[in-house]
Structure 1
Amino acid sequence: MVIAGIVAVVIVVLALALVHLYNAMVRGRNLAEEAWSGIGVQLRRRHDLVPSLVSVVQGYAVHEKDVLSAVSRAREAGMKAEGGSARDVGEAEKGLSLALGKLLAVAEAYPELKANENFLQLQHSLTSLEDDLQMARRYYNGTVRDQNNRIMQFPGNVVAGWFGFRRMEYFELSDESEAAVPEGYSAK
């Protein structure tokens, strides 16, 4: 009778631990998905800002068609990557960051453009968006790290295997030098 009671208690404790681990993994996955949607919002805001920036620069830098078209192509690639994996979106956005950096570097050669109030406001908005995107990326990567820890540590790895939880991808740039703020961005 005592042994049956002990076995029953052990089974109940194991079942509660299983439920707790499962719920923690579901909660972690949901937090990471929510964080990913935050990145998506910032990327959409960034994509919406690019045509205005290109239009203002185009008015002053008519001889820079290659740079302007590169920014437009990079924006298009970023928009097409939406809904893809973190790696695919990261690669597309890395291309857009590089193209925007070149665009802002070109703007340095046009004093009238640098003094244009609309350009300055767009540049400030872009800088603010980049900061917001960086915060969203940090939050997402933190939730992914926590979820991956749950999935990879024992006994979570067993529970994850039973219920099909998989490691999540981080949203990061592939090279440290690319993580630097592109030349031309100002910290206002």
Structure 2
Amino acid sequence: MEWIAIPLIIVLLVVVGGVAWAVGAYNGFVKQRNLIQESWRQVDVELNRRYELIPNLVETVRAFAGHERNTLEGIVRLRQQAQQLSSAERGDAPTAERAAVEEQLTQQVRGLMVQVEAYPELKSNQNFLELQRQLAETEDRIAAGRRYYNANVRNYNTRIESVPTNFIASSFNFQKATYFEVNDAEVRRAPDVSFGEISYRGDAPEQPRSAAPVESSSPNELPNPQAGRESAPGLSFDQRPEAQPVDRPEGEGYQPPNYNRP
């Protein structure tokens, strides 16, 4: 009977090990999902802080720059829409609609800050300067919280799509989380640096440069850090200007210097 008991023990160990792995995978999904919700609540707090600052900002700008009425109305409309979506979510992870509205609101507020540069009286107003400072700090905290949230979403979604944890995800209906991204090309644009131009700039006036447009890639395509280098502005190391010969006096009596003379 011993030869029968050994296979049964092996089967039992395999079953117990499989159940233990499934329980661990399920608990891991629950932990990651709760971490996503917690990290999103931190972002949501800063977003609500921005909701509180926007009305005062709008009224201050309106008092000095009434011509920006369309921009101000757009900001107020997006703020109300974002607040409604926030109330519907009740602290849960954001939907794609919420992320899109928040992105539009960010772009509108950033555009307003650029437009007010044309109003010197507004730029010197102490109330506006304080609102601008608080809004900048809030945007910085939103950006930091967004990076932390997206990192948790990436880890969670990777487990959902990976084998064998995808079987647990599909069996217990764990859905992929939504990223909170910024798709504005101005935000994603990286600064252009040309070492040749830095080395040989001299006293020549700096010419304006236009950054190359950001190209979208497929979800499964890895980023190529070398892409776009051929079209980068500036001189490369192989294109540096050759040294010009030094003009030397010619005529009778000219002798080249002898450095070996005592």
TM-score by length of 2: 0.64
Q: Deviations over 1:123-144 (max 9, x none)?
A: 1111111111111111111111
1:70 aligns with 2:70: no
Tell me what 1:118 maps to: 127
Aligned-residue Cα RMSD (Å) equals 1.7
Unaligned stretches of 5+ residues in structure 1 = 181-188
How far off is 1:178 after superposition? Answer: 5.0
Q: Deviations over 1:144-184 (max 9, x none)?
A: 1111111111110011111111111111123433556xxxx
Percent of pairs identical after alignment?
A: 37
Residues 25 and 168 in structure 2, CA contact (< 8 A), matched pair in contact too:
yes
How far off is 1:48 after superposition? Answer: 0.8
2:46 to 42, 45, 62: 42
Q: Which has the larger radius of gyration?
A: 2
How far off is 1:36 after superposition? Answer: 1.8
Tell me what 2:216 maps to: none
Q: Deviations over 1:48-96 (max 9, x none)?
A: 1100111111221233322222221121122223245432112111221
**How does 1:12-51 map onto structure 2 within 5 Å?**
12-51=16-55
1:142 to 128, 142, 151: 151
Return the alpha-carbon distance in structure 2 between the equivalents of residues 166 and 23 of structure 1: 15
Q: Deviations over 1:3-50 (max 9, x none)?
A: 222221111111110110000001011111112222211111111110
Tell me what 2:106 maps to: 97
Residues 26 and 168 in structure 2, CA contact (< 8 A), matched pair in contact too:
yes
99-108 vs 5-14, greater mean Cα deviation: 99-108
1:170 aligns with 2:179: yes
1:4 to 8, 17, 39: 8
Residues 94 and 178 in structure 1, CA contact (< 8 A), matched pair in contact too:
no
Secondary structure of 1:36's counterpart equals helix
Q: Which amino acid aligns with 1:147?
A: Y
Return the alpha-carbon distance in structure 2 between the equivalents of residues 50 and 179 of structure 1: 24
How far off is 1:104 after superposition? Answer: 1.4
Unaligned stretches of 5+ residues in structure 2 = 190-262
Tell me what 1:186 maps to: none
Residues 50 and 138 in structure 2, CA contact (< 8 A), matched pair in contact too:
yes
Return the alpha-carbon distance in structure 1 between the equivalents of residues 52 and 129 of structure 2: 17
Return the alpha-carbon distance in structure 2 between the equivalents of residues 4 and 101 of structure 1: 68
Residues paired across the two proteins, number: 180
TM-score by length of 1: 0.88
Q: Which amino acid aligns with 2:149?
A: Y
Q: Which amino acid aligns with 2:14?
A: V
Return the alpha-carbon distance in structure 1 between the equivalents of residues 109 and 172 of structure 2: 43
